[in-house]
Amino acid sequence: MLAARAEKRDHRRLGKDLDLFSIQDEAGPGLIFWHPKGGLIRKEIEGFDQKVAIMETGTVLEAGDAAEAIIGHRQTITVRPEKIRLGSLEDRPNPDEVTAAGVVRDVVYVGAFTRYVVELEAGGELVVLQQNLTMSSMDVLQTRGRHVRLFWNRQHSRAIATAGGDQKKEEIG
C-alpha cells in the first residue's frame, strides 16, 4: 500500500507522465532536461523562492550591471531594509560597508518608522526602513526626490537563488 502511494508520487514518473522533464542517464545520472511546461513550473517555483527570501530577509538588488557596480558581483542579493542606513551624498562609508547612491522615490511614514524606496543611480531600487528618532512626518515627506547615499555592512548582503543559479542566502564579501 505504501509502495503504491510512493510510486504515484514519484517525481520521475510524474515528470514523464506530465511532460515536465526527462532524465537521460546517458547524459548523467539524475540530470534533468526540462521540457517547456516543466520550465514554466520551475520558474514559478524559483520566483516563489525569491519572494520568500525577500519576505524573510528584505529588499532585493537584481543581478546585473547594478549589482556589479555596487557589490562587485553580478548576482542577485537581498538586504534587510532595517540594516540599510540613509545618509547624504557627502557621507563616506566605513571600511566594512557597501554604499550606493540614489534618489528617494517614495516615502511612507508609519509613526515609529519610515519606509523609503530609493532608486539607485546604478539601476534598480532598495527599500530602507528607518526608525523616526528625530524627524517628524513633515520632515520625512520632504525627503522625496532627495539624492541620498545608502550604507550597509557587507555581511548583511545575502545572495539568493535566481533562474539557473544555485545561490541560497550566502554571505557576499
- The predicted pLDDT at position 41 comes to 85
22 or 173, higher pLDDT = 22
- The predicted pLDDT at position 9 comes to 79
Given a cut of 60, whether residue 80 has pLDDT beyond it is yes
pLDDT tens digits for 82-133?
899 999 999 999 999 989 899 999 888 877 888 888 998 888 888 888 888 8
- The predicted pLDDT at position 144 comes to 92
d(CA 162, CA 66): 16
The β-bridge partners of 4 are: none
Write down all domains in the chain, each with its CATH number in brackets: 2-53 (no CATH), 58-171 (2.40.50.140)
- The predicted pLDDT at position 173 comes to 47
pLDDT tens digits for 146-157?
999 999 998 888
Mean pLDDT, residues 164-173: 45
pLDDT tens digits for 15-59?
888 888 888 878 777 788 888 888 888 887 776 666 555 544 456
Quote the pTM value.
Answer: 0.59
- The predicted pLDDT at position 67 comes to 73
Q: What does pLDDT average to over the chain?
A: 79
Contacts of 159 (CB under 8 A, 6+ apart): 73, 75, 76, 77, 167, 168, 169, 170, 171, 172
User: CA angle, 44 as apex, 43 and 49 as ends, to 5°?
Assistant: 95
